[in-house]
Amino acid sequence: MFHSLGEMLVLFGRALRALPLSWRHRRKIFEQLFEIGNASLLMACVLSLFIGAVLALQTGPILAERGLASYIGRMVGISMCKELAPVMMSILIAGRIGSAMAAEIGSMAVYQEIDALRTMNIDPVHYLVLPRVAAISLALPVLVIFAILTGWVGGAVVSSLNPDIGVSFKAFFNDLRSIVGFQEIVNGLAKSFVFAVIIGVVSCHQGFQTMGGPRGIGRSVTKAVVNSIVLILILDYYLTRFLMYFES
């Protein structure tokens, strides 16, 4: 496990060093961006709409019982932007995009396409890893912004339509605005940026490690998704602790 972590750190370092070459690879970055956006935007919005709705549905009546229904806006607002949107979108992207990255690079490794790149003196990290990690690091925070907004809308709709909560749309957003500021949103976006780098590096690393034909590709895809999610959830705790210092 530590060996793999070390290899991933080396891969991340090499991708970081190649960052000044991003402009040269802009076409590939845009292709990846389009792929990520196209595959995930609608699903991200639908998912977070319902996450926000469920959050309001579960917590709203409890708050209302204690006469705190007017606090539903801050409750949904802060949960969505600091925790649920970044983590849920990262898990979604690990499943949809991380798996695709691992499968594509894994298939290239199995069918000697990566060896062919090396024989042409083309660095696979520049050609394959840089565009993917750059694109996912740009795309995930944008998806998280959409997720936060639709999550809020979902929460507001349920709060206003559910008679057990009975908080109007306007009251919901007034309460939300009183507590959710620029810093809270940046907090969520910073998390999603780190998670995006994790998904990109873990998935590309698993792709490069692929051996042994279609079964090997399948194994790599599973490992890429599982390892990404585990790392995201573990790191989420430490990132939250770290970001709390800035808030205080």
Partner 1 sequence: MNSPAPGGVRVEVRGLRRSYEGQAVLQGLDFEVEAGEIFVVMGPSGSGKTVLLKHLIGLERPDAGEIRIGGRSIDTPDFMEQCRLAMVFQSGALLNSLTVAENVGLYLTEHRLKPPGEIAEIVRGKLAQVGLEGQENRYPAELSGGMKKRVAIARALVIEPQLMLYDEPTSELDPQMAVVIGEEICNLNRRIGVTSIVVSHDRDMAFGIADRIAVMHEGQIRTMGTPAEVRGCRDPLIADFLSASFKNIRKESAL
Which residues lie near partner 1 (CB under 8 A)?
A: 24, 104, 107-108, 111-113, 115-122, 127
Closest CB to partner 1 among residues 104, 184? 104
Structure tokens at 119: 């024989």
Separation CA 217–CA 163 (nearest Å): 51
Closest CB to partner 1 among residues 35, 175? 35
Task: State whether the Cα torsion 225-226-229-235 is positive or negative.
Answer: negative
Residues listed for the chain: 248
Q: Least distance to partner 1 from the beta carbon of 108, Å?
A: 7
Contact predicate 72/59, CB 8 Å: yes
Q: Least distance to partner 1 from the beta carbon of 115, Å?
A: 5
What is the SS3 assignment for 213? Answer: helix
Q: Least distance to partner 1 from the beta carbon of 52, Å?
A: 37
What is the SS3 assignment for 163? Answer: coil
Closest CB to partner 1 among residues 60, 106? 106
Closest CB to partner 1 among residues 26, 118? 118
Q: Least distance to partner 1 from the beta carbon of 21, Å?
A: 11
Q: Least distance to partner 1 from the beta carbon of 225, Å?
A: 21
Residues ≥6 apart with Cβ < 8 Å to 114: 105, 108, 124, 128, 208
Separation CA 124–CA 137 (nearest Å): 19
Closest CB to partner 1 among residues 46, 122? 122
